[in-house]
Amino acid sequence: MLPGKKGWAAIKVIVFLLSLLPFLLLTNDAFNDQLGANPVEALHFGFGDWALRFLCIGLALSPSKTITGQNWPMRFRRMMGLYAFFYASLHLLVFIVLDLSLSWEAFKDEVPKSPYILMGLLTYSLLLSLAVTSTKRMQKRLGRSWIKLHKLVYVAGITALVHYFWLIKSDYTEPLIYAGVIAGLLAVRIVVYFRRAAKLFSL
């Protein structure tokens, strides 16, 4: 038996706080000088990892509904998407403020040498557009276009992976794991799409 409105409200608060926990832990480690020899890099990668994790969680909710037949996971899709944007924002902020010291000249000098930055900015712009239009008001205003727009989350997942692969210099274990997860989640959607198409053609 599923919980009522008050039960879901309590569950959402718990999920919200758990999702905020990585930020609190990384921030605490930063203030207590527990991020290792390169704290800026640790923060940069830490926030980036969590952005990708929440992106994967958000992508997993629709397939979980398809597999289990339960609609309740979709209640958390907006929250997971906004948390992906939140951690991506922190990832970008650490790079601009701590790594480049808010220097526009350093940014212009770094971009041509590091194409992964452009891919990261593309990913962030996609997440930004999804975050800005995530409200119910925007959903009503955009109508069917909202559904098309929010399919950009799949593109964001792929560009985030490319950004990660270009950023890593040697050990590709973690990005390969994320690639496997995202590929699996996209495969489920492709299978569902073709099954629906087959049913339409059989009518």
Residue 126 to residue 31: CA distance in whole angstroms:
31
| pLDDT given at position 179 | 92
Token pair belonging to 25: 């832990």
Q: What is the pLDDT of residues 136-179, one digit of tens each?
A: 888 888 888 888 888 888 899 999 999 999 888 778 888 899 99
Whether this prediction's pTM lies above 0.85 is answered by yes
| pLDDT given at position 142 | 84
Number of C-alpha atoms within 13 angstroms, CB side, residue 134? 21
| pLDDT given at position 125 | 94
DSSP 2-60: ---HHHHHHHHHHHHHHHHHHHHHHHHHHHTT-S-S-HHHHHHHHHHHHHHHHHHHHHH
Q: Considering the chain, what percentage of its residues have pLDDT values greater than 90?
A: 46
Q: Are 139 and 163 in contact (CB under 8 A)?
A: no
pLDDT under 70 in the chain at which residues?
A: 1-2, 197, 199-203
| pLDDT given at position 1 | 59
| pLDDT given at position 201 | 63
Residue 94 to residue 116: CA distance in whole angstroms:
16
Query: Which spans in 75-169 are helix H?
Result: 77-93, 104-113, 115-132, 136-142, 144-150, 152-167
| pLDDT given at position 126 | 94
